[in-house]
Structure 1
């Protein structure tokens, strides 16, 4: 396969979406990042892109609200807004169907896109996805920390470092300073500070809409799905993995110890192997 790499912006669903397009003519795989302060596509998947690009065309967007993409988000239906924008991105690129890999907020967006239009999705890989059982229990300390980043005295490097090293990974000492610096600079973009992309649900209706386990379509979703969850995830509760395994007809679950919310970063070698094997395997499950 011929390897090519490029960066460009497409306009979709009223948003400018910046993405890195790498790999070649293999089946397209879209990597969707999480929603923490300063997140972006390539910073979240820096340890995974090369491994996947050896076999696939890998698309790594900055989702609306983040990185070099447009900053506006529909806070009444954030998952739906992201799903529509990402589907529009695929339309602009003339991609009829793609595998989706999503961490946290990106996992929620991927799952919502599949629920709305399962025929546009091949396989799903969800790492500690958001929107799983959130109306049934109080938010975790990690989620509270994330949602409070722009409150109080406002954003700071110290606040971001504490969030990442305490809540995103099992071993905070493994996170390098330059990664903290990169995300902090992105987190203080004036547009983001004025209108943070991830915030507390505005009311019961929005909260209900954001709980994807309340969506009746989940029990009939045909797409083969690999759920990866760190046992020590402090942002989204690990029992969400069992919830998805129970509810989804074509799901597999892998949970690992000494792993936090950033499965793809902390356990990169294992992640790359699991995802590569899952995407390349011939599945007996029906696909949409």
Structure 2
């Protein structure tokens, strides 16, 4: 019994120790270092001026092609580090923006978010850098944005790559709507432990590795800073954007070659916890959603990654990168 008491205490203390090791992060991550130099592009939005952070990764031996990497909702451009390094090694220029409301970019207090707005901001950045055409890769929410971007700028988008994109189904058909204030209240309650548990269950299928912790710490660090209410408000606004602005009905309008990389263990679905028990069983079925989406797109290639969750480029990097490079080089 005496031996069990220290073990029990250690179990109880581990979450507290993890939080103690976290450092508070301000709204624009000024005390967090990205893997490549960060620059800023000014955008005029709804009579306001905001800063859009981005990384421009240039190769030593350019092949003349550019790839744009669009991050997911609970992430920022930093998690594309290894992808960008390998693309650069293969001759690609890689541009990695943080969307307004995310990462090192501005966190507005008053803004109406739309995917069209984020796409326009991204195009404005690319225009300022002299990019006239590119392959566009989006993960998770970035997949919804990449799809909207490709629909708005089809001649600019040479190829489209969707890595476990959300928005392959219209959740509002099965999930009750909740106002922004409710999303905000939920965000204000976030903790390091809650963030990890969500990612463990929804992103990694219960299969955790210590390397995943850095992406939990970024979000958890925000919760410890006085700026957090502003960060949480932006998170709530963008949840509303994701929930109310589906792209699922427009996949058949995509004209460029499209690569779908789908981790088969993924079960992500926005608001699934609020759905009926019957709907919960059906929502976020990525094996079925990937096949259905590929059938809707005229020129689609589907790569199914068995026993991989929501983040193939983090969880199963080599299996993600091989089909990506093959697709880009076609």
Alignment check: 8 A CA contact 2:187 2:232 kept? no
User: Are positions 1:17 and 2:66 aligned together?
Assistant: no
Shift of 1:76: 5.7
Asked whether 1:120 is paired with 2:156, we answer yes
Which of the numbers 78, 87, 94 marks the counterpart of 1:52? 87
Counterparts in 2 of 1:88-107, with a 5 A limit?
88-107=124-143
Q: Highest CA radius of gyration, 1 or 2?
A: 2
Change (3 A) 1:73 1:112: farther
Q: Which residue of structure 2 aligns with residue 192 of structure 1?
A: 231
Distance change >3 Å, CA 261–CA 75, structure 1 → 2: farther
- CA gap 1:222/1:13 in 2 versus in 1, 3 angstroms: farther
Q: Distance in 2 between matches of 1:182 and 1:84?
A: 27
Q: Residues 273 and 161 (structure 1 numbering): CA distance in 2 closer, same or farther, change over 3 Å?
A: same
- Tell me by how many angstroms 1:49 deviates: 1.8
TM-score by length of 1: 0.81
1:221 paired residue number: 254
- Residue 164 of structure 1 contacts residue 172 of structure 1 at CA under 8 Å; is this kept in 2? no
Which of 152, 173, 194 is the equivalent residue of 2:208?
173
**Structure 1 residue 232 and structure 2 residue 232: aligned?**
no
Once the 2 structures are TM-superposed, how far is the Cα of residue 172 of structure 1 from its aligned partner? 3.5
1:135–1:164 CA distance, 2 compared to 1 (3 A): closer
Contact residue 63 and residue 69 of structure 1 kept, 8 A: yes
> Does the alignment pair 1:31 with 2:66?
no
Higher relative contact order (CA 8 A, sep 6+): 1
How much does 1:153 deviate?
5.8
2:305 aligned with 1:256, yes or no?
A: yes
- CA drift of 1:78 comes to 2.5
Question: Match of 1:63, SS?
Answer: coil
- Tell me which of 118, 122, 140 is aligned to 1:82: 118
Cα separation, partners in 2 of 1:13 and 1:279, compared to 1, 3 Å? farther
Q: How does 1:260-275 map to 2 (within 5 A)?
A: 260-275=309-324
Unpaired segments ≥5 residues, structure 2 = 1-35, 176-181, 270-283
For residues 73 and 103 of structure 1, what CA distance do their matches in structure 2 show?
26
**TM-score normalised over the length of structure 2:** 0.71
Residue 163 (structure 1) aligned to one of 198, 212, 222: 198
Q: How many residues align?
A: 261
Name the SS of the counterpart of 2:295 in structure 1. Answer: helix
Aligned to 2:145: 109
Going by fraction, where is helix more abundant, 1 or 2? 2
